[in-house]
């Protein structure tokens, strides 16, 4: 079994940007392959939920969503409030 692949949001943007040229084509191809294989890790939708519920920045919400998906019990970060629970 292959390890999951984490997809950064800039790859999603390139894949949908008609002006991205070769970067866009490559990003779209990689996303297609990940969708077919089921190996992609994309937590953007969950991050938007976390952002709304906890009034966090989108960047911090992506960190929390990724940690949640990985099953982390604690997040070590200077950007979040000490002891904060989502």
pLDDT value of residue 41: 66
pLDDT value of residue 26: 94
Q: For residues 17 and 11, give the distance between their C-alpha atoms in angstroms, rounded to a whole number.
A: 10
Query: Pick the residue with more confidence: 21 or 82?
Result: 21
Convert the pLDDT of each residue in 16-66 to its tens digit. Answer: 888 999 999 999 899 888 878 877 768 777 888 898 999 888 888 888 998
* CA separation, residue 26 to residues 36, 38, 57, 65 (Å): 16, 18, 29, 26
Task: With 0.75 as the threshold, say if the pTM is over it.
Answer: no
Banded pLDDT at 1 (limits 50, 70, 90):
low
Banded pLDDT at 86 (limits 50, 70, 90):
low
pLDDT value of residue 16: 80
């Amino acid at each position: 079994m292959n390890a999951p692949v984490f997809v950064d949001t800039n790859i999603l943007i390139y894949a949908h940007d008609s002006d991205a040229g070769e970067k866009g084509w490559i990003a779209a191809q990689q996303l297609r392959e990940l969708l077919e294989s089921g190996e992609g890790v994309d937590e953007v939708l969950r991050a938007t939920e976390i952002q709304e519920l906890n009034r966090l920045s989108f960047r911090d919400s992506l960190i929390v969503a990724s940690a949640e998906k990985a099953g982390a019990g604690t997040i070590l970060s200077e950007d979040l409030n000490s002891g904060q629970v989502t």
